[in-house]
Amino acid sequence: RPRKSAYLLCEVAERARDAGIAVCGPGVDFREIGKAIQGVADEANYDNFPMAHGHGIGSYFHGRPQVEHVRSTKDVGLMRPGMTFTIEPVLIEQKNADWEMLGDDPWIVRARSAAWSAQFEHTILITDTGHQVLTGPSVDYKALAKESLQ
């Protein structure tokens, strides 16, 4: 059974992803995505896992641009029409969580404290006038959890 705190973490992680998407458009600095996501995480007092990045989608899988989900000084340029990339922040319910990789697979990490984490992802296309979400809809976790939380 999920705890209410896990449900709230999911709500904030989804809201953080959506805040990152909302700033996307032609001519926008990629760093704006991280600022928006970090703002939502900070407001909720959650950790924003710094090793999770979005990435370009094209004739390659994990390519440029590397999309930072935290505030960053790293300049990866401006968004241009036709660019396709992911936004996929990972939030952890514990602030300043210490984490570790499990085994040799860099894709599997956990908080040493066993704190819960949540990740939501979309693929974004930059258009001439803004952006388009190419993926979705997400699993309706709210409906799934509703019965368990009553």
Q: How far apart are CA 61 and CA 58, in angstroms?
A: 7
* pTM reported for the whole predicted model: 0.88
Q: How far apart are CA 55 and CA 65, in angstroms?
A: 6
Per-residue confidence of the chain (150 residues) as pLDDT tens digits?
A: 667 888 899 999 999 999 999 999 999 999 999 999 999 999 999 999 888 888 889 877 777 888 999 999 889 899 999 999 999 999 998 887 777 777 777 677 778 888 888 999 999 999 999 999 999 877 777 777 776 665
For residue 121, which amino acid is it? E
In order of 21, 25, 37, 81, 86, the CA distances from 129 in angstroms are 14, 7, 22, 8, 19
Q: How far apart are CA 89 and CA 101, in angstroms?
A: 17
Tokens 């319910």: give the residue.
93
